Amino acid sequence: MTTSVSRSSHTASLHHGEIVEESELGSMRRVTADNLPILTRLSIKRVLLHPGAMRTPHWHANANELTYCVSGTALVCILDDHSRFSTFIVTAGQMFYAASGSLHHIESIGEDVAEFIIAFRHERPEDFGFGATMGAFSDAVLGNTYDLPAADLARIRRDTTDRKLAARTGAPDIPHSAYFDDPHKFDIEAQAPGLNYVSGNARFARDQFWPVLKDISMYSLRVSEDGMREPHWHPATAEMGYVRRGDARMTVMNPDGTLDTWTMTAGDMYFIPRAYPHHIENIGTDEWHFLIFFDQPFPADIGYRASASAYSREVLAATFDTHIEDLPRFPFTPADPLIVTRTNPVD
């Protein structure tokens, strides 16, 4: 018998996570393995940028980045290797991808606060700010680099501290090309649901639809008040989720047989190691919306409905140490549903 608890080793509040930076320009908070030790291969950050503010150019030394825009309008610039440069605009419901080592920046260009949920393909991502790295080299070295007198570089205020948030001076410089499609960008909420049920739906950002993804993916999952994500596990991928909206309850079974059951609300995140059985159900009165990230480009799962159909009643009776006549009449399920309707009350 499980007992609901408010917290477990699998979950944390991202809204109250570790403060990376906070000022009148915005804020950056994160949950990594330093705050939630169970995290492996994934971590998460929330960035708020006030109008006219930017996340300055930077790169991640050990992690690819997958970003979902919750609100606002932003200009994103990415410099990849071979001097390939991309500039594009993202708005609410759109995503972008930045490979490990790629120089990129995010600039709020709208009238509202821009909010981003960022997943990293490492439990402890490492950052380098371009401005901070300029402080690593002498005036002469930089002068030689840019074919300038060393004295010209001495005028720039610089050190090795990353200035993560900064204010833009003047109007944003938006090239015409920023309004075109870009391979780094994906409009997930404009997609038709890949799975659509009476009790919810799911949209997918995975390599099948977005070829740039190599080791990470995301599901935008919505479940109605009478819906439930059936018990399941992912054989080859870990799962990290963020509650965008709503109230839910999750149960996870650990390998030692212990159970974690906890409730979540908007702003919370969670992590499930690969192959751990788990389920999520709506316990609120409104639809909930989860952003669910995976450490594989195409996550797969095995659900309990199909599992009961895979074996004979004799095998199931022996498994449950139950007389065959006492077994329920499990419905034959050749392909697992992602979402099921909750016909029984929450227990």
Q: Could you tell me the two tokens for 106?
A: 């995010």
The answer to whether the CB of 39 falls within 8 A of the CB of 240 is: yes
Q: Are residues 197 and 237 in the same domain?
A: yes
- Tens digit of pLDDT per residue, the chain (347 long)? 334 444 689 999 999 999 999 999 999 999 999 999 999 999 999 999 999 999 999 999 999 999 999 999 999 999 999 999 999 999 999 999 999 999 999 999 999 999 999 999 999 999 999 999 999 999 999 999 999 999 999 999 889 999 999 999 999 999 999 999 999 999 999 999 999 999 999 999 999 999 999 999 999 999 999 999 999 999 999 999 999 999 999 999 999 999 999 999 999 999 999 999 999 999 988 999 999 999 999 999 999 999 999 999 999 999 999 999 999 999 999 888 889 998 888 88
Q: How many domains does the chain have?
A: 2
Position 289: which residue type? H
Q: Are residues 113 and 242 in the same domain?
A: no
| Phi, psi angle pair for 67, to nearest 5° | -120, 135
State residue 2's pLDDT score.
39
Sign of CA dihedral 273, 277, 278, 279: positive
Among residues 153, 169, 186, the one where a domain terminates is: 186
Q: Are residues 88 and 180 in the same domain?
A: yes
Measured CA to CA, the distance from residue 146 to residue 46 in angstroms comes to 35
Residue 5 lies in a domain: no
Q: Are residues 177 and 205 in the same domain?
A: no
In the chain, count H helices and then E strands.
5, 26
The answer to whether the CB of 65 falls within 8 A of the CB of 54 is: no
State residue 1's pLDDT score.
35
Q: Are residues 221 and 161 in the same domain?
A: no
Measured CA to CA, the distance from residue 294 to residue 121 in angstroms comes to 9
| Exposure string for 122-138, b = 16+ CB within 10 A, e = fewer | bbebeebbbbbeeeeee
Q: Are residues 99 and 142 in the same domain?
A: yes
SS3 of 292, please? strand
Q: Are residues 214 and 127 in the same domain?
A: no
Measured CA to CA, the distance from residue 213 to residue 183 in angstroms comes to 10
Q: Could you tell me the two tokens for 258?
A: 């212990």
Measured CA to CA, the distance from residue 331 to residue 314 in angstroms comes to 16
Rounding to the nearest 10 degrees, give the CA dihedral for residues 190, 196, 201, 205: -50
Residue 68 lies in a domain: yes
State residue 157's pLDDT score.
87
Q: Are residues 70 and 213 in the same domain?
A: no
Give me the domain span that covers residue 197. Answer: 193-341
List, in sequence order, the alpha helices (H) in the chain.
130-134, 139-146, 150-153, 304-309, 313-320
**Which residues lie below 8 Å from residue 53, measured CB to CB, with a gap of 6+?**
25, 26, 107, 108, 165, 166, 167, 168
* DSSP, residue by residue, 154-186: TTS---SS---EEEPPSS----GGGGS--TTEE
Among residues 127, 157, 186, the one where a domain terminates is: 186
Residue in 185, 191, 219, 190 with CA at minimum distance from that of residue 205 = 219
